Amino acid sequence: MFLLATIPCAQVELHWDHAVQGAAEIRTRQLRGALGAAFNDDAFFHQHDPVTGKPLYRYPRIQYRWINGYGVVVGWGEAASRLLALPWFDLLLRLGEEQVMVSDAALTLTQSQFAAGDRLTNYQLKTPALLFNQDNYRRYQTLTAQEQAVEQERLLVAGLLTAMRGLDVTFNQRLYAAFLNTKKQTCHYKGESLFGLSGTFVTNAVLPSGFAFGHGVSHGFGELVTMNGSV
């Protein structure tokens, strides 16, 4: 194994003053909007320039997730220290039509390692990866089953490389990645219905659990976890 980078990653697990129900996909979007408004002067939270309002096209250093009724905020690199320094307790947020208050915030900081492996590592997609947009999905639908499998793996490699580059990690050899199995599902992102893939895959990149790739990572899509064993 050849170590490429060690990047700080902070996670803040937000618990509420009362139980909050709702689908994770919707609640994640609401959490992102609420915290983007609460910390509007910090572009890490909403991916827009605070002065011009224009989108910032970069890998989101702050990402949002919803797990079992509570919110999770993940910060990579320089965004990690921002998360750890914020006053989370008693923070009032509006999630859709519901107002909640942060009653507890569990903070963790890890040093996440990225490396080039000498063997393949198994990963599972905890949330669907959005590797397709409207245009390349139309072309994908015209392909044979074998061609579709090749296209999935091409997009998997491209998505992993793009996400690593977004954290200033350069994979300095050929990256190999292949799906072991996939499940297709429709996901909703920025008002569009997109084709998402969940399942397992292998790659010669050594990646930390919680790393996310593809479109919509700030909305909770594309999160991977490491599985036991290598190939």
* Residue 6, amino acid: T
CA distance 85 to 95: 23
Q: Are residues 119 and 217 in the same domain?
A: yes
Backbone angles phi, psi at 34, to 5 degrees: -65, -45
Q: Quote the domain boundaries for residue 135.
A: 114-230
Going residue by residue through the chain (231 aa), what tens digit of pLDDT does each one get?
999 999 999 999 999 999 999 999 999 999 999 999 999 888 889 877 767 777 777 899 999 999 999 999 999 999 999 999 999 999 999 999 999 999 999 999 999 999 999 999 999 999 999 999 888 999 999 999 999 999 999 999 999 999 999 999 999 999 999 999 999 999 999 888 889 999 999 999 999 999 999 999 999 999 999 997 555
Q: Are residues 68 and 139 in the same domain?
A: no
Model pTM score: 0.93
For residue 159, give the H/E element and its range. helix 145-166
The set of residues, in sequence order, having a beta carbon less than 8 Å from that of 86 and lying 6+ positions away, is: 12, 39
- Tell me how many domains the chain contains: 2
Q: Are residues 202 and 214 in the same domain?
A: yes
CATH of the domain at 141: 3.30.70.1900
CA distance 199 to 181: 5
8 A C-beta contact, residue 167 and residue 77: yes
